[in-house]
Amino acid sequence: MAEVTLDTRPLVREAPPDTRGPSSPQSLTALWLGIGSIAAVLGGTIALILNYELSPRVLTPSCIDLQLTREIRGALGVCNFVEALRSSAETAVLLIGIALGVVAMTFGWSIRGRMDTLRRREQAITGAILGLQGVFIALVILAFREGRPDLFAKNFLNFAVIGPYFPGPFFSAIKNTIVLAFVGEAGGIVIGMVLAVLSLSTRSAARAPARAYINLFRGTPLIWQLATGYFVLLLGFDIRPSTFLVAMGIFALNTGAYAAEVFRAGIQSIERGQIEAARSLGMTYLQAMRFAIVPQAIRRVIPPLMNEFVILIKDTALVVVLGLTTSQQELFAWARAGQSDTFNATFFTAAALGYLVVTLPLIRLVNAVERRLRSGLVGIAGATP
């Protein structure tokens, strides 16, 4: 056959020109007022606290009045925090922030309609939004320091009490959290694949048990599954299992139910024509799945599966209901043990930071993968692996 098609011309990749137009002194003023408000409130407060914490100081009489005495571990740090918040410098910083913010809001918002370039309007509106945020944060801090910042800081921000539980036990707890979630997710993916295949069967005899399983595990609380699963083994089967292993198993079983639905949706999202084309070439159902459908479905299920993983990381906290030995403690159990030893809840603040250290990079990764999928780079059309 002679080639009669004109080959598609390669697309030229080139950034578009910036069409937002110039800025103006007016719009820049609104923008910088907003930035100034946020900077005064957030930057000023943080700078003051750091200054109080890092400069050599002693317990003040007012702190001692608040029961922050030398015998209390971390008392000086808490005292410095409270003194910084209640200092007149902080009052000045907050009032300046509020003043700048109010001006940014009213000025930016009132001039926005008169702005004649996109950049000018965006600067005016952004300034107003930042001003609003500055005012809001300043009011919250004002109200907070009128309350009992000393009690709050002593119980939730006294990182000195964590000393003996850090860094060894803390990082071991992070490791255990990741191990629990990872094993649960990996097991769940295997279970989910089997369940998905069963739940896609045209035979109700094969479908029914899969649906029952999925409904049971999606329809009951994970915390109930953990507690009951343990006693099913202990009493029902007279097995004395390690709680850590039971937790891994329940996480896998639970994730399996959710992963099954993700896989099923992924497979069903592939056009019918794909399996028909494969079958019309003589492939068996399983060959069609393996070579035509699943490779395409995989790309679509990666973001939802990663989301499930992020959720599971946080849900591992529920193993506290089972009780863990010290070396098995994950982040939440670590925090609870520390808190019950010291009667100080700062451990939970530290645990939250620990969770964020693990989840934030993952969340970023999920978003990046989703963006890539949406932009079609690994999507269905023009797939170029």
Position 77, amino acid: G
Half-sphere CA count of 350, side-chain side, radius 13 A: 29
Please identify, among the stretches 58-66, 256-264, 277-285, 323-331, the one whose residues bind another protein according to the rule CB under 8 A. Answer: 277-285
Please identify, among the stretches 36-44, 200-208, 220-228, 282-290, the one whose residues bind another protein according to the rule CB under 8 A. Answer: 282-290
Measured in Å, how far apart are the chain's first and last C-alpha atoms?
Answer: 30
Size of the residue set binding another protein (CB under 8 A): 30
Please identify, among the stretches 19-27, 141-149, 260-268, 272-280, the one whose residues bind another protein according to the rule CB under 8 A. Answer: 272-280
Q: Which one of residues 224, 291, 341, 367 is an interface residue with another protein (CB under 8 A)? A: 291
Q: Which one of residues 172, 274, 339, 349 is an interface residue with another protein (CB under 8 A)? A: 274
Would you count residue 283 as binding another protein (CB under 8 A)? yes
Q: Which one of residues 296, 307, 339, 349 is an interface residue with another protein (CB under 8 A)? A: 296
Would you count residue 282 as binding another protein (CB under 8 A)? yes
DSSP, res 74? T
Can you give the C-alpha Rg of the chain in angstroms? 29
Cis peptide bond N-terminal to 167, omega within 30: yes
In whole angstroms, the minimum distance from the beta carbon of 372 to another protein comes to 15
In whole angstroms, the minimum distance from the beta carbon of 380 to another protein comes to 5
Would you count residue 202 as binding another protein (CB under 8 A)? no
Would you count residue 13 as binding another protein (CB under 8 A)? no
Sign of CA dihedral 55, 56, 62, 68: positive
Nearest 10 degrees: Cα torsion 306, 310, 312, 314? 180
Q: Is the CB of residue 317 less than 8 Å from the CB of residue 330?
A: yes
Helix then strand then coil, % of the chain, to nearest 5? 75, 0, 25
Binding site for another protein (CB under 8 A): 1-5, 7-8, 271, 273-274, 276-284, 287, 291-292, 295-296, 380-385
